[in-house]
A = this chain, B = another copy of it.
Amino acid sequence: MTLLNRNVDYAARALVFMARANKPTVSVAQMEGEVGVSRPFLRKTLQRLHKAGILQAVKGKGGGFALARNPENIRLSDLVSVLQGPLKLNDCVFRKQLCRHHDACLLRHKVSGIETRLLAELDSVTIKDLI
């Protein structure tokens, strides 16, 4: 089981880099080396974050990406939900056809609790915490 996939990992590093950079925008070429991933791949990841409103993007020469919010307002949970999709803890909860004992299921109840606390953890870590 992987909690954070590579996209989230790379994205977190790139966002920390941007937060530290103290420039209007940072291009992917500038981040490439530090983040440790190929330019096209990082580009695609950051584009998704742009679409999701987490990053600003400036096209054209001298352009690049920048954080759309303050670092303390960008959470690990934001990156996860954009780049990995929603947490679907056990399949019973996720399937359209719920299992027979859905309401009474103790497993579901326990796992829901774990889910809630895990999400709270991912929520509590911000880019600022990683600078």
Contact = CB atoms under 8 A, between A and B. Distances in A.
A90 B9 contact: yes
Interface stretch (A23-31, A43-51, A53-61, A105-113): A105-113
A92 B9 contact: yes
Contact of A87 (B1, B89, B110, B129): B1
A24 to B, nearest CB: 25
Taking the full assembly, how many copies of this chain does it contain? 2
B130 A87 contact: no
Contacts of A118: 3, 114, 118, 121
A82 interface: no
B84 A3 contact: no
Main secondary structure of the interface of A (DSSP, over half): helix
A130 B114 contact: no
Contacts of A89: 2-4
Contacts of A80: 1
Interface of A: 1-6, 8-9, 12-13, 16, 36, 76, 80, 84-85, 87-92, 99-100, 106-107, 110-111, 113-115, 117-118, 121-122, 125, 129-131
25 contacts: A1-B80, A1-B85, A2-B89, A2-B90, A3-B87, A3-B89, A3-B90, A3-B111, A3-B114, A3-B115, A4-B91, A4-B111, A6-B91, A9-B91, A9-B107, A12-B107, A13-B107, A36-B99, A36-B100, A76-B110, A106-B129, A106-B130, A107-B130, A114-B122, A118-B118
